Chain A
Amino acid sequence: MLPIHLAIIFPFLTALIILLFLRRFKKIHLGWLVLIVPTILFIQLSTYIPKIASGQTFRNEMSWIPTFDINFLTNMDGLSLIFGLLITGIGTLVILYSIYYLATDPNVVQFYIYLLLFMGSMLGVVFSDHLMVLYVFWELTSISSFLLIAYWYQRKGSRYGAKKALHITVIGGFFMLVGFLMLHHLTGTFQISEMITQADTWKNDPLLTWIIVFVLIGAFTKSAQFPFHIWLPDAMEAPTPISAYLHSATMVKAGIYIVARFTPIFGGETIWFLLVSIIGLLTLFWGAFTAIRQTDLKALLAYSTVSQLGLIMTLFGVGSLSFHPQFSLEGTLYTQAIFAALFHLMNHSTFKGALFMIVGIIDYQIGTRDLRRLGGLASFMPISFTIAMIGSFSMAGLPPFNGFLSKEMFFTSMLQLKEMNIASITSLQTMATFFPIIAWLASVFTFIYCMMIVFQTFFGPFKIQNEEEAKEPSFGMLIPPIILGSLVVFVFFFPNILGDHIIKPAIYSIYPNVTADMIGSISQWHGFNTELKMTIGIIVLGTIIYVYLTYFKKVYIVFPRALSFDALYNNTLDKLDIYANKITNFYMTGYLRDYIAFIFSFFTVLLLGVFFYVDAFAFSIEGDATINIFAWILVGSIIIAGMTILFASSRMTAIIVNGYIGFAIAMFFVLFRAPDLALTQLVVETVTTALFLLCFYFLPEWEKEKPARKTKITNIIIAISVGVTFTLIALSVKSGRLFESISTYFEKSEELTGAKNIVNTVLGDFRAFDTMLEVIVLFIAGIGVYTLIKYKDKVEVKHDENE
C-alpha cells in the first residue's frame, strides 16, 4: 500500500519528470502518460476504504523543520479519504477528457504540469495534519489554479480572471495563516488531531472568536462564499477540464474541507454556527438567484457551483450545533446534517463534473456556449443531451437522481433546526423560521436554472448556422461524462453503498462518539412528508416561473451590475491604483528642495519630540571655559559672514565669505589649542576656496533667488528650527556628561609609541584604521574627480564618431 506521503509527492515528481525529460514528447499525447498518476492513486486510496471503514486511521510523519516544530505530518481518516477519492477519481476522468479536449493544443506540457501540481497540492491540503504544511499546500493550490486559469494567457479575460482569483484566494489565505498562527498561540500545537483532543481546554478564550473569523475568511474565499464568490465566474476563462476539476469538484471544496476539519474544534462556538450557516445560506440563495441571469453556460454553472457550495456550507453550519454544549443531547439529529453535507458534496462533484464536461463538448463542437445562440441540439447530440439532463435534474433535486436524496436530507436538516430548542441562542428562534424558507426559495431558483440548461440548450429552434458541426464528439470525450452520469443514477439506487463505506467513516472522524446506528441509512422513499411536499412545491413554482421567465427576469433590474460585488472589486482596484499614485506623487515631487525639507523637518520633529518626551533638556554653564575677547570677535564675525552669504549679490562675494568662515574656524582651532587642526583647516580651506574659484569660471552667475513667499518662509522656519534643535541638543549633551574622557590614556603616547604629538599618534598608531580608510576616501574622490572630468557620456562619444 502506498504511504500517504508518497501519494502527495507522486504528482509533483511526475511533473518534474515531465519537465525535465519529456518536454519533447510528441509521439502520443502526453495526457495518456499523466493519466497513470491519478489512476494509481485512486486505486491505492480505494484499498484504504475497508480499513478506514473499520475505524482505522493512518498517520505518517516526516521531519521537515524540526527546530520550529514544523513537520510533514499526514493523517488519513474518513474525511480526508472522501476528498482524496474525489481528487484522484475526478482527476482521472478530467485528464481523460482533456486528452480529447486539448488534442491539438501546442502547450499541453504546461497544462499537465500545472494540473499535476494542483493535484499534488490538493492532496496535500486534505491529508496534512500540520497547520503550516496545510497552509503551504493551500497556497500551492491557489498558485496552480492561477496558472491554470490563465492557461490561454494570450486572452485578456483569462489574465483578468486569474488575477482576480489569485487576489481573493491569497488574501483569504493570509487571513487563514494569521488564524492558524493565533490558533497555535492558543493551543501550543500545530497538529490538528491534537487540537481536537484538547478542544475543551480553551473553549472560553477571547482569542477564539478572532481565530474563527480569520480561518473562516480563508475557507470562504477559497470556497467562493458570499461575498467572495466573484472570482469563480471569472475563473471560467480556464479550459473546461479545469473548470470541471478545480472550480466545481476539488479546489472550491478545500474551504469546505477546512470547515469540516475544524468543526470538532470550533463547533461548540455560537459564532461558528452563525457564520457558517448564515453565510452558506446567503451564498446558496444569491448564487441560485444570480445564475438565472447568466447567458453564458459556464458562468451559469459557476454560479450554480457557488450556490451548491453554499448549501453544503449551511449543512456543516447546522451540523456543528451538535458540538454546542446546549444541544449535545439532540446531537444525532445535527449529525444528520453533516451526513447530508458530505453526501451532497460527493453528489455535487459527480453531476457538476458531468455538466461542465458536456458544456465543454458543446463549446468544442459548436463554438459557442451562449444560451441565446444555442438551441435544438437534442436530436443532434443525444448522448450529451442525456447526460446533461441527468446532471441538471440531479442538481435540481429530482428523482431518480442522487441530487434528490441529498436535497431531501437538506430540507430535513433545515426543518429540524426549527423544531429544536434553540431559543437560547440569541434571536435564533426567528432565524430558524427563515432557514427552510430561504432554502426552499433557493431550490426553486436552482430548479429554474437547471431547466434552462436542459431546455434552452437542447430544445427549441436550432440556431446554429453550420449543421455539420452539431454532432457528437469522439467517443473518448464522452466516456468521462458518461461515467459521472451513470454514477449520478447509481448513487440514487444504491446510496447506502456510498453512505456506509465512505461517508459514515468520515462522520466518525468528525464526531468520534457517533455510532453507525445513530445515523441510519438513506432511503429513496421516506414517506409523504414535508420534505416531499416541498419538492413538489419547487417543481410547481419552478415550472410556472420558467414558463414566464422573460417576465421574471425583470426582477434583475433592481440589481444593476454597477452595484455588484464585481463592480466593487474592480473599483477598489482602480481606486487603489489612483489614490496610491496620488499619494506618491504628492510627496515624491522630484524637487531636491522638498526632499531636504522633509528630511530636516522629520528629524527636527523627531529629535525635539523625543527630547521633550523624555525631558532631556539640560542647561548649565558650570565648568565652561571662560570667554575671551578673541572668541567674541570670531563668533560675531562668523555669524555676520554666514548671513552675508545668504544675502550676497554676487557669487564672488559668497565664495570669498565662505573662505573667510573656513579661516575663522582655523582661528578657533588656534584658540582652542589644536595646532594640527588649524594647519589642516588652513590648507584645506585654501584649496577648497581655490576649487570654488575654479568652478567660478564655469558656474552660471549667482542669481538672486526669489522663491514664493510661502516657500521662503518655510525655508526660514526649517533652517531656524534645525539650528535651534542642534544648539539645544549640543547644550544638553554638554551639560549632562557622565563619564570622564578616555583621553588620558592617549597621553601615554610617548612611552607607548615614542611620539610626542598626541593627535598624530592617535591618527597614526592608536586609531590608524580610520586614517587608512580616510586615505581611501581621498583616493576614491580623486578618481571620481578625474573620471567626471575626463570621461564623456557614451552616447555623446558615439555621436562624435558619427561626425
Chain B
Amino acid sequence: MEFIIAILAGVLFATGVYNLLQKQLLRIAIGTGLISHAAHLFILTMGKLKRGQPPIIVDNITNYTDPLPHALILTSIVISFGVTSVVLVLAYRTINENKTDNMEQLRGNEYE
C-alpha cells in the first residue's frame, strides 16, 4: 500500500509542479493545492499505513494507527488552507488591478 501511495503522491507532485510552471494564475493556485495534497499523503505514508484502529482510545484495544502524523497533517491542512485563501484573494486583487492573469505580463521590470 505504501508503495502505491508513494507513487500517487509523486504523480500529484508532478502535476502540481507542471501547473506551477504555467502562466495563468488560476493554474498556479491549483498547482499549490495539488502539491500540498501530495505532501499530506507523503506524511501519512511515512507514518506507516499499518491497519490498526483509529486513534481513539477504546478499552481492550491496543493496536492504533500512528496519531502523530495525523496531528501534523491536521496542522498542515489548516495552514495550507490559510495560504490558499490568501493566494486566491491575491490573485483576485492582481487581476483586478492589472487586468491580466498572465504571469508573463505581470513580470516585474527591475529598472522601473
| Residues of chain A at the chain B interface (Cβ within 8 Å) | 588-593, 596-597, 600, 621, 623-627, 631-632, 635, 638-639, 642-643, 645-646, 651, 654-655, 658, 661-662, 665, 668-669, 672-677, 680-681, 684, 687-688, 691-692, 694-695, 698-700, 702-703, 705, 707, 715-716, 718-720, 722-724, 726-727, 730-731, 733-734, 737, 741-743, 746-747, 749-750, 756-759, 762-763, 767, 770-771, 774, 777-778, 780-782, 784-785, 788-789, 793
> Hey, which chain A residues are within 8 Å of B46, CB to CB?
730, 733-734
> Hey, which chain A residues are within 8 Å of B64, CB to CB?
743, 747, 758
Chain B residue with Cβ nearest A728: B10
Cα A724 to Cα B13 in complex, Å, equals 9
A260 → B minimal CB distance (Å): 51
> Hey, which chain B residues are within 8 Å of A785, CB to CB?
85-86, 89
> Hey, which chain B residues are within 8 Å of A588, CB to CB?
110
Is A684 a contact partner of B13 (Cβ separation < 8 A)? no
Q: A651-B26, A673-B53, A734-B45 are in contact. Are A699 and B1 (CB under 8 A)?
A: no
Is A699 a contact partner of B26 (Cβ separation < 8 A)? yes
Is A789 a contact partner of B93 (Cβ separation < 8 A)? yes
> Hey, which chain B residues are within 8 Å of A626, CB to CB?
1, 51
User: Considering the complex of A and B, which 4 residue pairs feature the smallest CB-CB distances, nearest first?
Assistant: A723-B14, A727-B10, A781-B82, A719-B18
B22 → A minimal CB distance (Å): 6
Q: A596-B21, A642-B11 are in contact. Are A699 and B101 (CB under 8 A)?
A: yes
> Hey, which chain A residues are within 8 Å of B50, CB to CB?
625
Interface mask (B1-39 → A, CB under 8 Å = 1, otherwise 0): 111111111111111011111111111111001100110
Cα A774 to Cα B75 in complex, Å, equals 7
> Hey, which chain A residues are within 8 Å of B45, CB to CB?
730, 734
> Hey, which chain B residues are within 8 Å of A763, CB to CB?
71, 74-75
Is A688 a contact partner of B81 (Cβ separation < 8 A)? yes
- Mostly, the A contact residues are helix
Task: Offer 24 A-B interface pairs, CB within 8 angstroms, sorted by A.
Answer: A654-B26, A675-B56, A680-B78, A684-B81, A691-B88, A694-B88, A715-B22, A719-B18, A723-B13, A724-B10, A724-B14, A726-B14, A730-B42, A731-B6, A734-B6, A746-B68, A756-B58, A758-B67, A759-B70, A759-B71, A777-B82, A788-B90, A788-B92, A788-B93
Report B75-104 residues with CB < 8 Å from chain A CB.
75, 77-79, 81-86, 88-93, 95-97, 100-101, 103-104
A645 → B minimal CB distance (Å): 6
Interface mask (B42-65 → A, CB under 8 Å = 1, otherwise 0): 101111111111111110001011
Is B12 a contact partner of A638 (Cβ separation < 8 A)? yes
A676 → B minimal CB distance (Å): 6
Is B17 a contact partner of A722 (Cβ separation < 8 A)? yes
Among B13, B21, B34, B52, max chain A CB count under 10 A is at B21
> Hey, which chain B residues are within 8 Å of A681, CB to CB?
77
Cα A700 to Cα B18 in complex, Å, equals 20
Chain A residue with Cβ nearest B14: A723
Chain B residue with Cβ nearest A747: B64
Cα A762 to Cα B66 in complex, Å, equals 11
Cα A593 to Cα B23 in complex, Å, equals 7
Q: A654-B26, A777-B79 are in contact. Are A741 and B66 (CB under 8 A)?
A: yes
Cα A691 to Cα B49 in complex, Å, equals 32
> Hey, which chain B residues are within 8 Å of A675, CB to CB?
54, 56
Among B57, B65, B71, B91, max chain A CB count under 10 A is at B71
Q: A592-B103, A625-B51, A691-B84 are in contact. Are A645 and B22 (CB under 8 A)?
A: no
> Hey, which chain A residues are within 8 Å of B41, CB to CB?
665, 668
Is B78 a contact partner of A642 (Cβ separation < 8 A)? no
B106 → A minimal CB distance (Å): 8
- Choice from A593, A702, A758 contacting B21 with Cβ under 8 Å: A593
> Hey, which chain B residues are within 8 Å of A759, CB to CB?
55, 67, 70-71, 74
- Choice from A727, A742, A784, A793 contacting B9 with Cβ under 8 Å: A727
- Choice from A592, A646, A688, A784 contacting B18 with Cβ under 8 Å: A646
Chain A residue with Cβ nearest B33: A658
Is B13 a contact partner of A722 (Cβ separation < 8 A)? yes
> Hey, which chain A residues are within 8 Å of B101, CB to CB?
699-700
Q: A593-B21, A719-B15, A758-B64 are in contact. Are A778 and B82 (CB under 8 A)?
A: yes
B7 → A minimal CB distance (Å): 5
> Hey, which chain A residues are within 8 Å of B1, CB to CB?
624-627, 631
Question: Beyond A668-B44, A675-B54, A762-B68: 8 further Cβ-contacts under 8 Å?
Answer: A638-B8, A646-B19, A665-B40, A719-B15, A757-B57, A778-B81, A782-B82, A788-B92
> Hey, which chain B residues are within 8 Å of A627, CB to CB?
1, 4
- Choice from A597, A672, A677, A718 contacting B74 with Cβ under 8 Å: A677
A146 → B minimal CB distance (Å): 30
Q: A673-B51, A700-B95, A774-B78 are in contact. Are A715 and B18 (CB under 8 A)?
A: yes
Q: A684-B78, A726-B9, A743-B66 are in contact. Are A757 and B2 (CB under 8 A)?
A: no
Chain B residue with Cβ nearest A789: B89
Cα A703 to Cα B21 in complex, Å, equals 14
Is B74 a contact partner of A695 (Cβ separation < 8 A)? no
Is B108 a contact partner of A590 (Cβ separation < 8 A)? yes
Is B24 a contact partner of A784 (Cβ separation < 8 A)? no
Is A726 a contact partner of B42 (Cβ separation < 8 A)? yes
Chain B residue with Cβ nearest A687: B81
Is A645 a contact partner of B15 (Cβ separation < 8 A)? yes
A608 → B minimal CB distance (Å): 13
Cα A625 to Cα B47 in complex, Å, equals 12
A154 → B minimal CB distance (Å): 28
Is A639 a contact partner of B37 (Cβ separation < 8 A)? no
Cα A564 to Cα B58 in complex, Å, equals 89
B81 → A minimal CB distance (Å): 5
> Hey, which chain A residues are within 8 Å of B91, CB to CB?
695, 699
Cα A661 to Cα B12 in complex, Å, equals 10
Cα A757 to Cα B21 in complex, Å, equals 41
Q: A673-B52, A757-B56 are in contact. Are A767 and B83 (CB under 8 A)?
A: no
Q: A626-B1, A747-B64 are in contact. Are A788 and B89 (CB under 8 A)?
A: yes
Cα A715 to Cα B17 in complex, Å, equals 9
A453 → B minimal CB distance (Å): 50
> Hey, which chain B residues are within 8 Å of A674, CB to CB?
44, 54-55, 65, 70, 73
Q: A700-B95, A724-B10, A742-B68 are in contact. Are A680 and B54 (CB under 8 A)?
A: no
Cα A790 to Cα B39 in complex, Å, equals 33
Is B56 a contact partner of A756 (Cβ separation < 8 A)? yes
Is B71 a contact partner of A654 (Cβ separation < 8 A)? no
A105 → B minimal CB distance (Å): 39
Cα A673 to Cα B55 in complex, Å, equals 8
Q: A698-B96, A785-B86 are in contact. Are A705 and B57 (CB under 8 A)?
A: no
> Hey, which chain B residues are within 8 Å of A749, CB to CB?
57
Chain B residue with Cβ nearest A658: B30
- Choice from B27, B29, B95, B110 contacting A590 with Cβ under 8 Å: B110
Is B12 a contact partner of A631 (Cβ separation < 8 A)? no
Is A784 a contact partner of B89 (Cβ separation < 8 A)? yes
Cα A771 to Cα B71 in complex, Å, equals 10
Is A654 a contact partner of B65 (Cβ separation < 8 A)? no
Q: A654-B26, A759-B74 are in contact. Are A600 and B56 (CB under 8 A)?
A: no
> Hey, which chain A residues are within 8 Å of B37, CB to CB?
661-662, 665
Cα A217 to Cα B83 in complex, Å, equals 56
> Hey, which chain B residues are within 8 Å of A638, CB to CB?
8, 11-12
Chain B residue with Cβ nearest A791: B93
> Hey, which chain A residues are within 8 Å of B56, CB to CB?
675, 756-758
Is B96 a contact partner of A673 (Cβ separation < 8 A)? no
> Hey, which chain B residues are within 8 Å of A624, CB to CB?
1-3, 49
A547 → B minimal CB distance (Å): 59
> Hey, which chain B residues are within 8 Å of A698, CB to CB?
92, 95-96
